[in-house]
Chains A and B, each alone.
Chain A
Amino acid sequence: GQQLNQSPQSMFIQEGEDVSMNCTSSSIFNTWLWYKQDPGEGPVLLIALYKAGELTSNGRLTAQFGITRKDSFLNISASIPSDVGIYFCAGLIRNTGKLIFGQGTTLQVKP
């Protein structure tokens, strides 16, 4: 089946540092989504990408949809303690609504 490889698996950074994480797939996706999940809560949508090559920002977050449609990255600039959580990439299987999730990147920020 389709799988997404998300890296890194975890990151421990200093407050104020920039963060980058990415997802790659052997299959093409037409939509890439990035979510953040806090413990005991549901995933919260951060950014949605619909077009190959698209670069989208949401505050300190920037995400890009790879030209090949097989990858995406998420950058967080000037990290703050509330950025702590698990970040998931997800690819949408066309015409089904089914999301395939990456394994997640656990981010810890040291004040």
Chain B
Amino acid sequence: DTEVTQTPKHLVMGMTNKKSLKCEQHMGHRAMYWYKQKAKKPPELMFVYSYEKLSINESVPSRFSPECPNSSLLNLHLHALQPEDSALYLCASSKYPGMGGNTEAFFGQGTRLTVV
């Protein structure tokens, strides 16, 4: 089983709304990631959680707030977003955060976010 589950699949929110994206994996992976992907572009890393601790923040604006409640769950809290934040948000996980083998990342199906 290499499944990473993201909810919701689609989300439309206003610029004053607060919403959350959720990600879950039950593969025992200890690294989880948020990526952002704009149309016709490759995914770009936003955050890395390693052993439930935030290890990388790629200078993401504070209107995006990640949370890792436990080793299986990853959330992305959204507040006061702008229309240019509309994108496909991808969650991924890997067994270990980048050391030797078993570091390949498995992606969820993504959340298509539209900010109006």
Contacts and interface: CB of A to CB of B under 8 A. Distances in A.
Contacts of A88: 42-43
Contacts, number: 71
Interface residues of B, number: 33
A59 interface: no
Given A50-B101, A92-B98, A97 B42 contact: no
A-side binding surface: helix, strand, loop or mixed? loop
Interface in A21-56: 31, 33, 35, 40-45, 48, 50
B104 A45 contact: yes
20 contacts: A41-B110, A42-B6, A42-B90, A42-B107, A42-B109, A43-B90, A43-B107, A45-B2, A45-B105, A45-B107, A48-B104, A92-B103, A94-B98, A96-B56, A99-B43, A99-B45, A101-B42, A101-B43, A101-B44, A102-B42
